[in-house]
A and B are shown apart, each in its own frame.
Chain A
Amino acid sequence: MAVALPELNLQCGRCHENPRLQIENGCKRDSPVPDRWQIGEYTFQRCPGSIVTRQSYEYIAAYNWREKGFLPNPGGWMEQPAKFVEAMGIIEREITRESKERMEEVNRRGRNA
């Protein structure tokens, strides 16, 4: 979910000004709209911006550092915590999926133009 946040272009200011939008988007509690948010295979009833955890942001930051060649702990890749390695795999998979979807969207628009 944290991977997809920039793509969702959430504008919290709009919901703050509009109580109806707050309810529909699930800002403070579950939205009454079934499957209000869908990101890949996952659905959410709460606004993704309100439920993403600090941990997720830290994993994304670690992912970005890893892309630049820095690992969070001494040693090589195999000496990193197994959970960190697993998290990087999940983020990688989500980024690949996002890119693929974006590419398909661009191709679709190109065909329809």
Chain B
Amino acid sequence: MKGINAAETVEYISKYETDKENPTVWILGLIDQQTRDRIDDMSTSYEVDPKAGEEGKAKAVFHFNRARTELVRAGLKGFRGFIDPKTGQEIEFKTMPTHKFGGVRQILHDEILNRIPRDVLKELADKIDALNKMTGQEEKNS
């Protein structure tokens, strides 16, 4: 993934995948700068007591789980072979419209998000995060 064309995707198989013959293939893509900024802002917040002066302590709050969920919402572009354990059928990829930044955007449907196992969700979020950042080597090469 080069990171220039917004439609670029990569396929990924989770390390937690148990069905090696018919694995679930997750299709991961790029997120735009607005979404990145929003997720970054959401992941950490600081609280400062204005009355405490310069020596007053600041409180940092980290919302890693929320940030991870939002990364997957924005960066998961599709999948293949994601099976519903109840029916044995493939789950259909679905998005839902959301009002963001003065427009309507399609994000991953809650119904799908809630079906992704917690560990896989964390793993996908980390992978999407890495895909959407310059690596040290890429930075050096630029």
Contact = CB atoms under 8 A, between A and B. Distances in A.
Nearest to A3: B142
Which bucket holds chain A's interface residue count?
20 to 34
Contacts, number: 83
Please classify the interface of chain B as helix (H, G, I), strand (E, B), loop, or mixed, using the class held by over half of its residues: loop
B103 to A, nearest CB: 9
Contacts of A85: 33, 36
Nearest to A82: B36
Interface string A30-49: 00000000000010000000
Which bucket holds chain B's interface residue count?
20 to 34
Interface stretch (B49-57, B62-70, B88-96, B126-134): B126-134
Contact of B142 (A77, A82, A90): A90
A77 B101 CA distance: 13
Contacts of B134: 83, 86-87, 90
A67 to B, nearest CB: 15
Given A86-B134, A90-B134, A81 B3 contact: yes
Interface of B: 1-7, 30-37, 101, 131-134, 138-142
Given A79-B33, A82-B33, 9 more contacts: A53-B141, A55-B141, A58-B4, A59-B4, A78-B32, A82-B36, A84-B3, A86-B133, A86-B134
